[in-house]
Structure 1
């Protein structure tokens, strides 16, 4: 998720040497102090023993283990959020700390619950797709309606739905037969996997470890990004039920530690959340001239990667926000402008999920009104530190490329409206990973504009991870099948319609990852998926859908008979940067997942109505 790996020095050598392992000696690609290298080797030896124990567990035992992890996460949830908030330059309890609730314990508990249900179903001889509605998507695709699947989901996120689309040619029988992935053959060990954790969103390292265990039967060595070192004690307590029997180990360290581990002969698989540049360095080696002998360019040319084991990755990109022109009210313009600002500004823009390029119709009569509301919402969002390493450099790059950009918040965020004749390449191909929002315009309205916007996103923007589409119900109904066809044409692994792809990311039974087809030589937004709590195979994308209008205006749409309008009881969602009660609501929703206490939920819903 980060555009650059950290160069924070590795942990200093330990003063106490552990007993030598009898495992094969590792000749590393990076030098580490003897004690640090020995500690990593010993950890891998313990994981190898854990892999044998993991393969001996029944599905019932694994499900119960997930319950213990859930309890442990609940115990550390408040500390998790406080440490994460502080690490990003904010005080505990800050109004923006709701992001850390949703992007931390909330997301992990949702994944634990969904995985546990999948394992319990398999243990009883059922299928993960039992009770899931299957249907057809454009292009001969099969889709599974995987959200909501229970009353809690329908109530807490009313008006939101989620679908998993399979690759063309996958039948319902195929999908059911393959659902379960590694849990269909639980005694077949996947060995020891290495997870190189993300540095920006705190649920990611934990979720990636869970996916290694349950999708692939691989025990996991998690190397945290140095930006999350302060969370290691929290992670260790949250994952204690997995650490104690040797199913998971956690290591600190910088680039040298990562290089040591990715070249380790007893690592069977690597998973990284990061940047394409970091991925290429792992797979092909440092750039040409950085080492003696065969350089990275020659390896790539000869298709001879330095990495000798399989690798999966989630690498981000430049995400579009396609605004389909329609007849919007003044309230619609304001609300959707706040929506777009949210997509860019949550976590100070340090998200692979972040929307970066707004694609507008130059012929939309309300274009100027929308842009005025967007500038106002962008400037009014709470100010916060731009905290991720080297963000200042990326803001400077944007200022150099676009001297006419409009800056606000003490020049920590910018909107770049690329005019006719101006170069779009920088904002369309550079994942700024900072508060830089581009606006480009295309001709046309209706289907003509939508098709042009889809083609532009596919062909001009870097990456294939996430795309966002905003469209009012009346316009969507008028486009009919043309709208669904356009969605099918978008070559992105996650698509959000009238919501943000963060909804897909946080929804455990949806998948998260780049569009299929990436290779080691051209990795784009990554290889493979994560989350995917139903453990579905051959997935092409996930599609989330939300209400165009919040409560109570959404209810009025239903009364007026707008066929595609989604009713909802949600006012401004708690993840909006404009929500006045986002922190209290996000914390309350997480605590409700933890303890199920209705009085707390009632209090939370009251706060939600004050957003």
Structure 2
């Protein structure tokens, strides 16, 4: 054993510089360039669009390692540790994969006139479904047993699915538009994937205003996407709320897409809080008359359906749920926030004990997102809780608030997104799966704020019984969330690229919840109600996001390299790294 005194300290990259806010003149120039580029973008052939996507992908590959190191420095992540794998996942893997899938979709359009889908099916209530993952045989090999089906809105027919898919490419739907993309500060892939969706799915040019939290990413994107910037299809600018407001109100921008909070959305659409905003909402008189699409986070529930779980299965799922909290230091819009268990569930104490043990394995993290400590203090004040870790300077403890009364009125941990490392456990219904599923789905729909993502943990034996399986399918159908997963955290569905990502379409501008509109969606589907991901109850090797994964940094570096070409030659190296988990 190496003596502790000889162990080298962890290596950290140099903290990246943040570009200064763009001047009004630079903002105007950017709008003018992209306004001209929007017309040129319309005229590109499919071959030209494939070449553009390839240039963006090649450019991102070229900055991948530097951008990951910059993100690690900004978030206090030591290099060459499993935590570095998060930034490979939240940057290069997602982006490089998305651009490869876009190229495939464009080539399919060229050769067949439409995008490629997997098998079609029907939900229990008769709605049309379309399989979008696995997107190929490599996906099927690396993510064995994982599927994603898109549930279409009621009334969508096979013929409408065919005619509406890739709508932009089947008939001009606009005369050249400019989208203001207000970037997310927490996940570096988001802004790129929003741009990819707008340029290639919708044929719209983009002005990106980066979030001040990760504005350091801008110079890397300017290098990666140099060809798109030269063509006028993209511009990248910097600043805070003032610069964002200036561009939102600019005559040269046609629509807005944002990732952030519902407060920012309401500020843009309805104006500052107060009697004036209230009156405008009542009278449906928004200040912003441009279309605004948004992804705004939420309070993501995890429904633990009773079943014959073994201790090993409980431990696996407890770590999976905990990992959905700790990933990215808990600064994810889809972080697991509320665990809903059956009332009087005989395995409750064992599950919570395993959950706590999983949190104890999680390293302390820098609470890098602004306001995290204040939010943590506000949401935990006066509560009984289990706190794990938080000893490192600048970190916060992983916090479990258990046995929270499901009947508590106006409970902030149900009705507000904490955006802090807090997870809650509450109980509804009973240990009867039918009663639990009915009441848990109602609770998730009616008491949880947000409509972005929800998870069910379901034992395979439950799905072998026709009655309980039907109840699970009803719950999946009833949950008003844009992404519903079974037995795994929704971060996978976000990363896969082919599934649409966004809030359930039941929200309105007056009550926006988790937002509106869809991104990713490389099959370019319309009429989406939700994406449903199904995953085995346990998996070997474990997902790269798992708390205890020992080789995530090696695995996700290799996964990112694999995604450039989707090459089988890269698969053995990926599997070797995965098995070292």
Q: TM-score, normalised by structure 2?
A: 0.92
Corresponding residue for residue 457 of structure 2: 470
Counterpart of 1:435 (choices 418, 421, 431) is 421
Counterpart of 2:270 (choices 257, 281, 284) is 284
For residues 354-373 of structure 1, the aligned pairs below 5 Å read 354-373=335-354
Corresponding residue for residue 534 of structure 1: 523
Query: Which SS does the other structure have where 1:65 is aligned?
Result: helix
In the aligned structure 1, how far is the partner of 2:423 from the partner of 2:86?
Answer: 20
TM-superposition CA deviations, 1:139-167 (whole Å, max 9, x none):
22100011113111111211211101100
Corresponding residue for residue 543 of structure 1: 532
Structure 1 residue 610, shift from structure 2 partner: 2.1
Query: Contact between 2:100 and 2:563, CA under 8 Å: does it hold in 1?
Result: no
Determine if the alignment matches structure 1 residue 112 to structure 2 residue 93: no
In the aligned structure 1, how far is the partner of 2:294 from the partner of 2:568?
Answer: 39
Query: Contact between 1:320 and 1:358, CA under 8 Å: does it hold in 2?
Result: yes
Structure 1 residue 364, shift from structure 2 partner: 2.0
Query: Which SS does the other structure have where 2:344 is aligned?
Result: coil
Q: What is the root-mean-square deviation of aligned Cα atoms in Å?
A: 1.9
Query: Contact between 1:189 and 1:218, CA under 8 Å: does it hold in 2?
Result: no
Counterpart of 1:267 (choices 253, 267, 280) is 253
In the aligned structure 1, how far is the partner of 2:124 from the partner of 2:407?
Answer: 36
TM-superposition CA deviations, 1:211-253 (whole Å, max 9, x none):
1112222100000000111111111112112111110000000
Query: Contact between 1:312 and 1:527, CA under 8 Å: does it hold in 2?
Result: yes
Counterpart of 2:543 (choices 569, 573, 577) is 573
Corresponding residue for residue 507 of structure 2: 518
Query: Contact between 1:186 and 1:217, CA under 8 Å: does it hold in 2?
Result: no
Structure 1 residue 91, shift from structure 2 partner: 2.6
Query: Which SS does the other structure have where 1:547 is aligned?
Result: coil
Corresponding residue for residue 24 of structure 1: none
Query: Which SS does the other structure have where 1:246 is aligned?
Result: coil
The alpha-carbon distance between structure 1 residues 350 and 62, as it changes in their structure 2 partners (threshold 3 A), is same
Corresponding residue for residue 399 of structure 1: 380
Corresponding residue for residue 555 of structure 2: 585
Determine if the alignment matches structure 1 residue 11 to structure 2 residue 10: no
For residues 186-585 of structure 1, the aligned pairs below 5 Å read 188-288=174-274, 295-400=276-381, 402-410=382-390, 411-420=396-405, 423=408, 425-445=411-431, 446-478=433-465, 479-551=468-540, 571-585=541-555
Structure 1 residue 363, shift from structure 2 partner: 2.5
Structure 1 residue 115, shift from structure 2 partner: 1.4
The alpha-carbon distance between structure 1 residues 458 and 420, as it changes in their structure 2 partners (threshold 3 A), is closer
Determine if the alignment matches structure 1 residue 88 to structure 2 residue 97: no
Corresponding residue for residue 124 of structure 2: 138
Query: Contact between 1:470 and 1:497, CA under 8 Å: does it hold in 2?
Result: yes
Structure 1 residue 600, shift from structure 2 partner: 5.1
The alpha-carbon distance between structure 1 residues 12 and 435, as it changes in their structure 2 partners (threshold 3 A), is closer
Structure 1 residue 596, shift from structure 2 partner: 5.7
Query: Contact between 2:385 and 2:402, CA under 8 Å: does it hold in 1?
Result: yes
Determine if the alignment matches structure 1 residue 76 to structure 2 residue 63: yes
The alpha-carbon distance between structure 1 residues 12 and 150, as it changes in their structure 2 partners (threshold 3 A), is closer
Structure 1: 5+ residue runs without aligned partners? 1-8, 14-35, 290-294, 552-570
Q: TM-score, normalised by structure 1?
A: 0.88
Query: Which SS does the other structure have where 2:129 is aligned?
Result: strand
Structure 1 residue 370, shift from structure 2 partner: 0.7
In the aligned structure 2, how far is the partner of 1:306 from the partner of 1:398?
Answer: 32
In the aligned structure 2, how far is the partner of 1:189 from the partner of 1:575?
Answer: 42
Corresponding residue for residue 143 of structure 2: 157
In the aligned structure 1, how far is the partner of 2:244 from the partner of 2:183?
Answer: 10
The alpha-carbon distance between structure 1 residues 423 and 10, as it changes in their structure 2 partners (threshold 3 A), is farther
In the aligned structure 1, how far is the partner of 2:127 from the partner of 2:513?
Answer: 23
Structure 1 residue 75, shift from structure 2 partner: 1.2
Query: Contact between 1:139 and 1:168, CA under 8 Å: does it hold in 2?
Result: no
Query: Contact between 1:508 and 1:531, CA under 8 Å: does it hold in 2?
Result: yes
Structure 1 residue 332, shift from structure 2 partner: 0.8
Determine if the alignment matches structure 1 residue 97 to structure 2 residue 84: yes
The alpha-carbon distance between structure 1 residues 321 and 421, as it changes in their structure 2 partners (threshold 3 A), is closer
In the aligned structure 2, how far is the partner of 1:328 from the partner of 1:299?
Answer: 52
Aligned length, in residue pairs: 556
- Greater CA deviation, 597-606 or 533-542? 597-606
Query: Contact between 2:480 and 2:506, CA under 8 Å: does it hold in 1?
Result: no
- Greater CA deviation, 249-258 or 84-93? 84-93
Structure 1 residue 10, shift from structure 2 partner: 9.3
Query: Contact between 1:190 and 1:216, CA under 8 Å: does it hold in 2?
Result: no
In the aligned structure 2, how far is the partner of 1:600 from the partner of 1:137?
Answer: 37
Query: Contact between 2:406 and 2:426, CA under 8 Å: does it hold in 1?
Result: no
Query: Which SS does the other structure have where 2:401 is aligned?
Result: strand
Query: Contact between 2:100 and 2:565, CA under 8 Å: does it hold in 1?
Result: no
TM-superposition CA deviations, 1:73-128 (whole Å, max 9, x none):
11111112111111112233332111111111111112111111111121224321
- Greater CA deviation, 496-505 or 594-603? 594-603
In the aligned structure 1, how far is the partner of 2:350 from the partner of 2:418?
Answer: 27
Query: Contact between 1:189 and 1:217, CA under 8 Å: does it hold in 2?
Result: no
In the aligned structure 2, how far is the partner of 1:605 from the partner of 1:240?
Answer: 34
TM-superposition CA deviations, 1:536-581 (whole Å, max 9, x none):
1010000011111223xxxxxxxxxxxxxxxxxxx11111111111
In the aligned structure 2, how far is the partner of 1:395 from the partner of 1:464?
Answer: 22
In the aligned structure 1, how far is the partner of 2:44 from the partner of 2:405?
Answer: 62
Corresponding residue for residue 43 of structure 2: 56
In the aligned structure 2, how far is the partner of 1:348 from the partner of 1:419?
Answer: 23
Determine if the alignment matches structure 1 residue 121 to structure 2 residue 108: yes
